[in-house]
Chains A and B, each alone.
Chain A
Amino acid sequence: MSLRLLALPAILLLAGAATAQEAQSPAPLAAQGCLGCHGQSGHGAGGIPGIAGREARELQAQMMAFRANERPATIMGRIARGYTEAEIAALAQHFAQIPAR
């Protein structure tokens, strides 16, 4: 099944919600937990890859692969399985918007 097809309605939904009311959007707050390892603004730190400024589609596919145990990981599988597909889509959108360094 195509990941893109699955996630599309979620992206639209969340994008709508974000413009309607910033504070209610789950992405920025949920994304805060990722910064604890991926560095401030998600630019990477000490061997942990940067996730800022990359294609949302790519980030989302990587997260979905971590979730399905299809991408080698020391820890990301355990983390990714805690998020819904909609949240993963929103997270990917969020980090994609941050300019890469």
Chain B
Amino acid sequence: MNATRRALLAASALLAAPVSLRAQSQGRILVIGGGFGGASAASFLRREHPEIEVTLVEPRQRFVTCPYGNLVLAGLRQIGDITHSYDRLRARGVRVIHDRAAGIDAAARRVRLAGGETLSFDRMILSPGIALRWNAIEGYDEAASEAMPHAWVPGDGTQTLLLRRQLEAMPDGGVVGIAIPANPFRCPPGPYERISMIASYLKRHKPRSKILALDAKDAFSKQGLFQDGWNALYPGLVEWVPANRDGRVVRVDVREKVLETEFGTRHKVDVANIIPPQSAAAIAREAGLANDAGWVPVNPVTFEAQAAPGVHVVGDANIPGPMPKSGFIANSTAKQAAASAVAAMRGREAPRPVYFNTCYSHVGDEYGISVVNVYRPNAEGTALVEVPNSGGVSPRGDLPEQRRLEAIYADAWYESITRDMFA
């Protein structure tokens, strides 16, 4: 986008905002990243604290969600179904700037945008998501991802569509190889929902094919439930190889379509989906907010970065103790961070949080499972702990009605949360 068009867009965003709100502004919150954390924060602030001026910086004109991307792979959704625009946030008075934050000066409370503009703020909410660690798996860099898609960051949907096309082009009897990283990574049950949805596609269209899932872990989220589902719906189609049976992929050969594991086994596949190790997005690391592992340690009550009070880091970029990197957590912590930011601007104490997470996964077309976790800060407010006796996974056993209902409720969750963020 050229500078004139950007300026015009920014100007129209300003015009669209109710003038009276701007006149009464009682502080400025700058939100960086318009995904699950950022859009949730901006939307929440307009609803609950209309006296605050909210600016959202996000390079993309449209947001394609990771959640439900696996259903696009199965052919159960189109990419348009999971693509959202920023128009309604703008209409609510959020100033949306389509640009990329290029540098954060936390002490001076200023952000420099790639387009040249500098923005000042009283408080910042930073939710830039993850970066993929290119070459953490030898041979897997950005160029390689054009042949072996990751489909693990939303982007403009290209990666998901590429993987879908490769599955469509694969002959019946082919092998789909999936490389899965060690913890922590974005969406712990995500790779296994992906296995399920690819299996659903293969069973219908290419029933002699196979999925070879090579894992850097020995156990995974909702494992019993997923494996029960695979046995019931896709017998013999899925082979999952844990790390202790040489499942960890350490090298890829893009030309030969080979995934090589720790102890030197070379697996030739027809389609390769590589989910590489991850870290916080570049902007958070470059601002000096991340630890050695590449994630941002935060205060569990306010979500301010330990290295930069006043900068609240939410979503997958942070490392919030035991909480998973999920869209649900990004949404609920974004609201807590926004409320804490407003409280701090008014000289008040941050509200006491209860966080809870729900991740639904689709195992089959009418077969859903879920996990719930509830967390609270410990008495000292230094760490988050899971509430005893709460949460847990869906019950195991032959429960067709439970599975059918959870698939329906999963769809309702997607509707509700995306409306909460973008409407």
Contact = CB atoms under 8 A, between A and B. Distances in A.
Q: How many interface residues does chain A have, given as a range?
A: 20 to 34
Interface stretch (B17-25, B219-227, B237-245, B340-348): B340-348
A21 B349 CA distance: 11
Given A79-B372, A82-B374, A37 B351 contact: no
B37 to A, nearest CB: 13
A36 B356 CA distance: 11
Interface string B363-406: 00000001010100000000000010111101000000010011
B409 interface: yes
Contacts of A82: 354, 356, 372, 374, 387, 390-391
Contacts of B44: 32
A29 B332 CA distance: 9
Interface string B407-423: 01101110111011001
A29 B351 CA distance: 8
Interface in B322-340: 328, 331-332, 335-336, 339
Contacts, number: 109
Q: How many interface residues does chain B have, given as a range?
A: 35 or more
Given A23-B339, A35-B420, A78-B390, A48 B412 contact: yes
B421 to A, nearest CB: 10
Nearest to B387: A82
Interface of A: 21, 23-26, 28-30, 32-33, 35-40, 45-48, 74-75, 78-79, 81-83, 87
The 4 closest A-B pairs by CB, nearest first: A82-B374, A46-B412, A82-B390, A78-B372
Interface of B: 44, 48, 328, 331-332, 335-336, 339, 342-343, 346, 348-349, 351-356, 358, 370, 372, 374, 387, 389-392, 394, 402, 405-406, 408-409, 411-413, 415-417, 419-420, 423
